[in-house]
Amino acid sequence: MSYTAPDFDPPQQRRFRRAPLAVGLAALVPGALLGWVVYEGVGKPGGNSGGGGGQAGAAAPRSAAATASDDAKVPGAGPSPSAARPLQGKVVVIDPGHNPGNFQHTSEINQKVDIGTNWKECDTTGTSTNDGYTEARFTLDVAHRLRTLLERQGATVKMTRDGDQPAWGPCVTKRAEIGNEAHADAAISIHADGAPEGDRGFHVILPASVHSGAADTRPIVDSSRTLGEHIESDFARVTGSAPSNYVGGGTGLDVRKDLGGLNLSTVPKVFIECGNMRDSKDAALLTSGAWRQKAAQGMSEGIVSFLHG
């Protein structure tokens, strides 16, 4: 915008001489802008074609994104499917001890079955805390948590009982049979003990070498011990619980030949007594959902290390 004083009117000749200058400048500005755009788009003389200017700068983030995407496809650059699911193709059988319905089916569970070394009851009712939280409820809850963890690792998981099925039992012979027929890579029977107050801690029960009647544990003794040692170590580490102070001499391991679920197994199998339900301090742990999750995590890590290690 121009300003003219009231009593001053510039001569026409001066206005005429300025017009060509204004027109020339107007013509030069678009040309200069066009030259700058071409200059920047093609690249500065002697410079790196990807190093500067508007287009090169816009391309940089896309290049970084493409690199990140490609890294995921490079072996070792990210977790492989086998690393993320180390138990892919493995079968694990979980045996939640006892059954809530056993109390209503005492005649059935008291039937004697052949476990190789002798005859024992088909099943038992199990124990409970002093407040009435039953072992059967505890074992099923931990089994469900363990199943979820193992399935996330890629394992195929089979349960010897689940929810209200079966209504009682199954017998210890059937529990072993389920693992055998599944050709399980590992099997675990979950329990809690019913010892006197003051007896505390957990222990893992391993099969003794038995060759009697229908029982022959000789092919699985060594592998079952390895499985048990892995579970004992990881269970203690994850839960913070100490090995039993009344069984196993502080090792957290016990060997028995009187359990049908172990005697009749043809696959690596262990029992775990997660704690003593009759001890008030152990009971406080066993009745805690947070602790039961840790218990399941400890078992899961032990099984993973056994099968994948």
Helix (H, G, I), strand (E, B) or coil at 252: coil
CA distance 93 to 73: 35
CA distance 241 to 230: 15
CA distance 289 to 141: 9
Specify which residues 211 forms β-bridges with. 216
For the chain, the residue count is 309
CA distance 161 to 169: 8
Tally of CB atoms within 10 A around 290? 8
53 Rama class: left (phi>0) / alpha (psi -120 to 50) / beta:
left
Give, rounded to a whole angstrom, the gap between the first and last alpha carbons of the chain.
Answer: 84
CA distance 97 to 105: 16
From 135, 229, 232, 273, active-site residue: 273
Torsional sign, CA 289, 291, 294, 298: negative
Specify which residues 96 forms β-bridges with. 190
CA distance 178 to 14: 110
Give catalytic status of residue 197 as yes or no.
Answer: no
User: Is the separation of the CB atoms in 166 and 104 below 8 Å?
Assistant: no
CA distance 206 to 148: 25
CA distance 128 to 124: 12
Residues with a catalytic annotation lie at 273
